[in-house]
Amino acid sequence: MAEFQSFLLRTCISFAFLFALTSSNSTFVCDPARFAELKLEMSSFAFCDKSLPFAVRVKDLVDQMTLEEKVQQLGNLASGVPRIGLPSYQWWSEALHGVSDVGPGTFFDSVVPGATSFPTVILTTASFNESLWKTIGQAVSTEARAMYNLGRAGLTYWSPTINVVRDPRWGRTIETPGEDPFIVGKYAATYVRGLQDVDGFEKSKDLNSRPLKVSSCCKHYTAYDVDNWNGVDRLHFDARVTEQDMEETFQRPFEMCVKEGDASSVMCSYNRVNGIPTCADPKLLNQTLRGEWDLHGYIVSDCDSIEVMVDDHKFLGDTNEDAVARTLKAGLNLDCGVYYTNFTANSVQQGKVREGDIDKSLKYLYTVLMRLGFFDGNTKYESLGKNDVCSRQHIELATEAAREGIVLLKNDEHTLPLNSSNFKTLAVVGPHANATKAMIGNYAGIPCRYTSPIGGFSAYANVSYSMGCGDIACKNDSLIFPAVQTAVNADATIILAGLDLSVEAEGLDRENLLLPGSQTELINQVAETAKGPVVLVIMSAGGVDISFIKNNTKIKAILWAGYPGEEGGQAIADIVFGKYNPGGRLPVTWYGADYVNMLPLTSMTFRPVDSLHYPGRTYRFFDGFTVYPFGYGLSYTQFKYNITYSASSISIKLDKFQHCRSINYTDGIQPPQCPGVQTNDLACDETIKFQLAIQNIGNVDGSEVVIVYSKPPRGITRTHFKQVIGFQRVFVEAGQSEKVTFKFNACESLKIVDYAANSLLPSGEHSIIFGDSGVSVPLNVIY
């Protein structure tokens, strides 16, 4: 998100307004003492009457404003209306993996010097632990409310990022939950619940009045995953997307975020989709978000998106007034920028948009602020303060999140875990050996503290450190020899290498899938001369082709640590020395380096394009060489799966209004008499249940991630190989067994999306696959 050309100006202006409430020792609008200080009679303003429904109060608030006053509330910095006691409000705050100071709504100073910086989303997702995702959201929102009480933060957070990782080169993989749309959507809904939910009000009768702890925003809607590649950037890109891919992949996480997470905001993206800027598309905004999915909240633009529409997309030759009219009528309620505040009044005067469209947007916006307690306060959270930010519990949670996400990729001869009694001296080398800021990635604030890898390993052994490279670019080999010398006499060597924000980031897509510069040479030379076992730790978001390391017998073990947050060094050391048994799984495919030579980043299709010889994308449609597949991850123990209960078939009797639909099969395979039925025509109340016993047959306690896939009937053309339909992380003591139960909705878990974007439940023999255990069961759908 964010065009930062006007960022500094907005920041300075925002700080001037940030204390509009707290300077009068009040943290909510409708405080009688505050109105008395303003010399206003609060009882004369119905919007402060708590006995009235929110809808009535918000209408009264909006009705009291003039047109000029209304339009000044439509930008991310709402100026307020002093004559009616309405203060300014800065809508833009961020909380992707901790409270951030990106965006002018939040800042750190001597009162609150920092906030807990959890692992970046790609690593947290690798834990495959929904309860962890929600707990992190709850911790982040607690710190956000505490900072709000102290006048250092807002209540509206434009997080999380929930775009699917379609291509390994995308620079913002670091922010996302990976390549599977179901997992991305499940993360989105769970994290949003953690941020927003107030205990006891998770399922209020009127969701438009449901109290919020903080407001969360799912972004960037939609089909956005090109930042800056080979001369193509997000400000000009037109994503040409099939309706099949929209239904099956791009839209699914956003639908789950709105329907399951009840997110109170969605952000539209910079790009066009099939020729239309997303922020100006009434089908995407009014019809889908607001209509079909029933969003209970507001829609906001990515920053300066309306300006981008005019100046970069040059959409339909729109003037500034044309553009604001178009986006308002399409359903865009809030402009992160100044176009709405500068040009909407003129647009009304020119007859291009109605004042009623402005009123509608303001009602959505101020309803969310009412739900947050901005007007009435919230006694549940008013006691939160400085001690609730960077608490010991939150720092430990950040460490635990990193431990749970880290993935063990290789462990020859059971080299790991190291025993501190046998390995007393360590060589810790490489460009990430002393990592601090690199560990917290982007959209990060100021962390509570850092525990670098050197710091983490120093608790277990005597550490000798050598950089090996001057930085991640590692443009020369001048520092390799000192690193080699460091490893010569150490009992074991830990190499920390990988990528950082200079390689993969917002506005910066990757050119290749290799380690930068001389990092490969550093790793090979250190491994060749090291006295003891060599362990490689990769920090990255996207996959890296490390085939040479995978096949190097002198490198005994490999860990992927993502960007592990402020306590990353501690988490890595805890795993290497066996305090924690790794259980993370890769949330993205690690392709071979030649994959990026087979197709451009800008080709938006997931299925192979045979005419252009483009391969498919993600584990669902790609069956070529991978360095490591999606869902891969090892443990220090072994697990065995036994199915104790399994559904075997589903029989659905069709009535005269439910009709069979054709499905394309490969030549030589006879389709069933009734190939499939549209899910919209079915009740879709059938469930399928499976129970497994997960047995730990090793000698170490550990957690197993059970990923469940469905595979469609054999012979259906151009559909997925398999798709994730559920997952659980289960802890099993050594020698013990734990039962895991899965219940799936048949339509959601077995459906396919055909070329015409129809969601169909095919008849025939589906397969339910449990991870990479080799265990699967058939499931017949019969009409």
What single DSSP character describes residue 16?
Answer: H
Is 302 in a helix, a strand, or coil?
A: coil
Q: Which H/E stretch holds residue 364?
A: helix 355-371
Residues classed as catalytic: 302
Say how far residue 332 (Cα) sits from the centre of its chain. 22
Could you tell me the strand order of the sheet in which 759-762 lies? 660-661, 676-678, 759-762, 752-753
What single DSSP character describes residue 762?
Answer: E
What single DSSP character describes residue 116?
Answer: -
Q: Which amino acid is at 576?
A: V
Q: Which H/E stretch holds residue 732?
A: strand 723-732
Helices (H) then strands (E): counts for the chain: 21, 32
Whether 703 contacts 583, CB under 8 Å: yes
Q: What is the DSSP string of 170-210?
A: -GGGGGS--S-HHHHHHHHHHHHHHHHPPTT-TT-SSGGG-
Closest CA to 21 of 334, 388, 375, 385: 375
Q: What is the biggest distance separating any 2 CA atoms in the chain, rounded to whole angstroms? A: 84
Is 717 in a helix, a strand, or coil?
A: coil
Q: How far apart are CA 29 and CA 14, in angstroms?
A: 18
Angle at 500 between CA 498 and CA 505, to 5 degrees: 135
Strands 298-301 and 649-651: unpaired
Q: How far apart are CA 747 and CA 755, in angstroms?
A: 18
Q: Which H/E stretch holds residue 748?
A: helix 746-750
Cα dihedral 104, 110, 115, 116 in deg (nearest 10): 160
Q: Which residues contact 134 (CB under 8 A, 6 or more apart)?
A: 190, 191, 193, 194
Tokens 């139960």 sit on residue = 741
What single DSSP character describes residue 290?
Answer: I
What single DSSP character describes residue 114?
Answer: -
Q: How far apart are CA 281 and CA 300, in angstroms?
A: 13
Q: Which amino acid is at 624?
A: G
Give bridge partners of residue 716 from the DSSP assignment. Answer: 665
- Residue 520: other Cβ atoms inside 10 A: 16
Say how far residue 757 (Cα) sits from the centre of its chain. 25
